[in-house]
Amino acid sequence: MPTRPFIPPQQFRAKLRRVTELTPSTKHFEWEVVDGSALKFYAGQFLSLEVPRDGSQEARPYSIASAPRDGKSFDLCLNRVESGYVSNYLCDLSANAVVDMHGPHGSFVVSPPVEQDLVFVATGTGIAPIRGMLGEIFNAPGKLSHDVWLIFGVRHPETILYRQEFENWAAQSAGFHFLPTLSRPPAGWQGKTGYVQEHLREIFAGRKDFKAYICGLKAMVDEVRFTLKEEFGLDRKQIRFEKYD
């Protein structure tokens, strides 16, 4: 896939149009740029959100959880981190709140059209940029010409974020394989369980002709990268990742 031209980051303000609770600790935010500028970004990039703290600004990065759509609106998905300042500040906001932001940043992006098999691996809110990337892939004209897997690790079935959307994409496209993977499966769960590495082995045994996109907390990202490099022999360029801590 070709690399995409650099988009210069900009300072802007966005208004919270809608906030939806996905789980007791995770929220989906729909924002709109309100200071007149248009926001250009690639799916998978992140923004720096700046919130007031003791007379100054405290900034944290958050991945854009949507594909580009109208140059104005975009989504974020974040969870409350225990004792965390910015995540709790943002999760306490109501519709119409305005927040200063800077971006886009980062090179965790895909470039449609898909030219080889892809696997996306996420845990928790690491799904945010991947929801955007998959949206970009599925919004692109034409039929998917390669297989795309999403291995999404969470604890319980109720915390499979955006489950309905991923199931819809899987129903519409035979090439898209959605594999929610539970670390604490309830009795009767028919899907995947355990570590995402095991599922990589099942899907790609003996292959190195695919590309991987990994997002989540550092330990998972490092372990999956290690497996892909050392066991599968993937080249550095075939593994893209974003770490959240």
Return residues touching ligand FAD (CB under 6 A): 46, 60-63, 77-79, 81, 83-88, 125, 128, 242, 244-245
Minimum distance, C-beta of residue 111 to ligand FAD, in the bound complex (Å): 19
Instruction: Report whether 34 contacts 15 (CB < 8 A).
Output: yes
Helix (DSSP H) and strand (DSSP E) numbers for the chain: 5, 12
Minimum distance, C-beta of residue 139 to ligand FAD, in the bound complex (Å): 20
Instruction: Compare residues 86 and 212 and give the one whose CB is closer to ligand FAD.
Output: 86
Element at 79 (helix H, strand E): strand 73-79
- In the chain, the N- to C-terminal Cα span, in Å, equals 28
Instruction: Compare residues 58 and 115 and give the one whose CB is closer to ligand FAD.
Output: 58
What residue number has its CB nearest to ligand FAD? Answer: 84
Q: How many residues does the chain have?
A: 245
Instruction: Compare residues 25 and 238 and give the one whose CB is closer to ligand FAD.
Output: 25
Q: Phi then psi for 117, rounded to 5 degrees?
A: -65, 145
Minimum distance, C-beta of residue 5 to ligand FAD, in the bound complex (Å): 21
- Give residue 191's identity as a one-letter amino acid code: G
Minimum distance, C-beta of residue 78 to ligand FAD, in the bound complex (Å): 3
Instruction: Report whether 140 contacts 233 (CB < 8 A).
Output: no
Minimum distance, C-beta of residue 206 to ligand FAD, in the bound complex (Å): 33
Instruction: Compare residues 66 and 204 and give the one whose CB is closer to ligand FAD.
Output: 66
* DSSP state at residue 92: T
Q: Which two tokens stand for residue 229?
A: 């490099």
Return the bridge partners of 211, or none.
118
Minimum distance, C-beta of residue 101 to ligand FAD, in the bound complex (Å): 13
Instruction: Compare residues 161 and 182 and give the one whose CB is closer to ligand FAD.
Output: 161
CA 239 – CA 219 distance, rounded (Å):
16
CA 102 – CA 10 distance, rounded (Å):
6
Instruction: Compare residues 200 and 215 and give the one whose CB is closer to ligand FAD.
Output: 215
Minimum distance, C-beta of residue 17 to ligand FAD, in the bound complex (Å): 18
CA 65 – CA 130 distance, rounded (Å):
7
Instruction: Compare residues 46 and 232 and give the one whose CB is closer to ligand FAD.
Output: 46
